[in-house]
């Protein structure tokens, strides 16, 4: 692959980040790290959405200016992503001056082209969605289905984008590109929404919403969320109607844009219409992930079950984010909803990362030291009975990531761990050593360590810290590209001393890991 560009939805800074935000960022980061193992030019964009009526109201309630309020909460998101080891290339804020200026140019270009026009309008506005809804979007009780509140009737003269002009082109694109929306079964949902699509409001009256980007030449209007927020995916790369940067030319279109299923309509319809109006290529894929419930219950402030990712790490005294990253990234099949529970988190992480993978490496290296003083003899190499299973797993993991099936990829990695554990049990190197079959014992241990190098490379996107520890003990180059990965990574000679063998991950219920009682 020549390049890989991935984006997340930008988070609204009306509150602090919660586990739902974290799920999307972890999922995206795992995909991004995998593709850094397959190509040289990669870019990962995330950020925050900072304009609108909710920011205007909440900042006032907190006796803060809108900008100060945004600064405070944007930093909370940055801090959370740092704690989770999210390796983004750029963090964009829609209050960035460079973004605001280009958004104004985009608006003017579409206005001059005739794709934006002014129109008096009365509609049902949901402040939670920051969107106008039609009656067919509401529940039987006339409520917003996402926020369970009745939208207010708003009458304004706003600017509208001619989305209907691009309706047929959007339908055609979705139909001739069945893999455009991931998972593909959501395409019918979008096509149904397109049947009755209308032009959309892309400005708000400054008298009603003052916290936004001003429309050039019209002091009474401010640019609304669709042109503002959605454009971040191209402004971050240096797109400019007057002449874009080399970065934009290198990376656009996006290879995949990762979003929650609740905003699929805006990204697969509104965003495509805007890009078509700008004569820009469309993203290759839109990945709509599911939601994360807490103990099988949807997160809700009223229920008090909204939890932050950093609070989970604190509760379990986790010094690294790898356990939470692994658990969340493998929480749900592609596009489906997932669930978080403390007990399941602990059980799954202990089983996969500590008992199966970590213990496999630890005991194999320990036997190598015990029987061979940490040395790999030349005669131990080149007879790996596990090589085919390892290489087949690499192919399978790459295939799953090609379709953004992250949970399925994780399952394949753990299957290889299980196969290797079974190989150790079946061959019993401790028995071989006791019986004097030293060469076969050395072969078995070396075969396992070869596979552990492959596992190290494959688990890296999920668990970068643990993978680094594994690589150090194996003297393995973790930066090797997946296309160059073989099952011949272990070299003859001294590999490791006893004092350098350390568990790469301790069970979360062990005395050493807990360092005392849970908070």
Residue numbers annotated as active site: 18, 21, 126, 129, 144, 147, 298, 301
Within 257-375, residue ranges assigned H as helices are 264-265, 271-277, 309-315, 322-329, 342-349, 359-372
Return the H-helix or E-strand segment holding 28: helix 19-36
End-to-end CA distance of the chain: 46
| Spatial CA neighbour of 433 closest among 370, 487, 516, 359 | 370
Q: How far apart are CA 408 and CA 428, in angstroms?
A: 30
| 516 C-beta neighbours (distance < 10 Å), count | 7
- In angstroms, the Cα distances linking 16 to 75, 109, 248, 325 are 9, 35, 31, 19
| Spatial CA neighbour of 203 closest among 191, 189, 217 | 217
436 burial (CB, 10 Å; 0-12 / 13-18 / 19+) is exposed
Contact, 264 vs 288, CB < 8 A? Answer: yes
Q: Are strands 116-126 and 152-161 parallel, antiparallel or unpaired?
A: antiparallel
Q: Would you call 111 helix, strand, or coil by DSSP?
A: helix
333: DSSP letter: S
Q: Would you call 319 helix, strand, or coil by DSSP?
A: coil
Contact, 190 vs 213, CB < 8 A? Answer: no
């Amino acid at each position: 692959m020549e390049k890989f560009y991935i984006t997340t939805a930008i988070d609204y800074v009306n509150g602090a980040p919660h586990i739902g935000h974290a799920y999307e960022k972890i999922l995206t980061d795992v995909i991004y790290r995998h593709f850094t193992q397959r190509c040289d030019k990669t870019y990962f964009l995330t950020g925050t959405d900072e304009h609108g009526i909710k920011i205007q109201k909440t900042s006032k309630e907190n006796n803060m200016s809108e900008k100060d309020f945004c600064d405070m909460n944007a930093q909370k998101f940055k801090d959370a992503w740092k704690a989770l080891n999210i390796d983004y290339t750029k963090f964009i804020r829609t209050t960035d001056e460079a973004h605001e200026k280009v958004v104004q140019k985009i608006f003017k270009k579409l206005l001059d082209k005739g794709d934006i026009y002014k129109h008096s309008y009365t509609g049902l506005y949901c402040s939670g969605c920051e969107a106008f809804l039609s009656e067919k979007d509401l529940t039987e009780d006339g409520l917003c289905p996402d926020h369970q509140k009745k939208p207010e009737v708003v009458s304004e003269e706003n600017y509208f984008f001619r989305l209907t002009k691009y309706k047929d082109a959007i339908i055609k694109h979705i139909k001739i590109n069945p893999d455009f929306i991931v998972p593909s079964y959501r395409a019918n949902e979008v096509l149904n929404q397109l049947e009755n699509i209308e032009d959309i409001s892309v400005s708000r009256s400054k008298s009603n919403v003052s916290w936004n980007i001003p429309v050039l030449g019209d002091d009474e209007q401010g640019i609304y969320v669709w042109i503002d927020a959605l454009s971040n995916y191209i402004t971050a790369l240096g797109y400019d109607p007057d002449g874009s940067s080399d970065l934009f030319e290198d990376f656009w279109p996006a290879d995949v844009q990762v979003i929650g299923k609740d905003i699929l309509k805006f990204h697969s319809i509104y965003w495509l219409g805007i890009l078509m109006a700008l004569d820009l290529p469309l993203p290759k894929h839109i990945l709509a992930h599911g939601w994360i419930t807490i103990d099988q219950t949807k997160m809700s402030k009223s229920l008090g079950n909204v939890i932050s990712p950093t609070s989970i790490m604190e509760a379990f005294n986790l010094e690294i984010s790898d356990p939470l990253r692994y658990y969340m990234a493998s929480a749900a099949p592609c596009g489906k909803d997932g669930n978080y529970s403390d007990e399941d988190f602990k059980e799954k992480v202990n089983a996969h990362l500590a008992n199966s993978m970590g213990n496999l490496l630890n005991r194999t290296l320990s036997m190598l030291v015990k029987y061979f003083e940490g040395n790999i003899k030349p005669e131990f190499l080149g007879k790996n009975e596990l090589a085919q299973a390892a290489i087949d797993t690499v192919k399978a993991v790459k295939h799953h990531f090609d379709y953004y099936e992250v949970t399925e990829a994780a399952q394949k990695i753990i299957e290889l761990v299980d196969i290797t554990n079974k190989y150790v049990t079946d061959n019993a190197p401790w028995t071989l050593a006791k019986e004097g079959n030293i060469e076969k014992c050395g072969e078995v241990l070396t075969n396992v360590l070869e596979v552990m190098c492959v596992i190290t490379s494959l688990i890296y996107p999920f668990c970068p810290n643990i993978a680094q520890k594994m690589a150090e003990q194996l003297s393995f180059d973790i930066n090797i590209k997946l296309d160059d990965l073989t099952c011949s990574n272990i070299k003859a000679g001294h590999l490791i001393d006893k004092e350098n063998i350390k568990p790469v991950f301790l069970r979360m219920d062990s005395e050493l890991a807990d360092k005392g009682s849970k908070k």
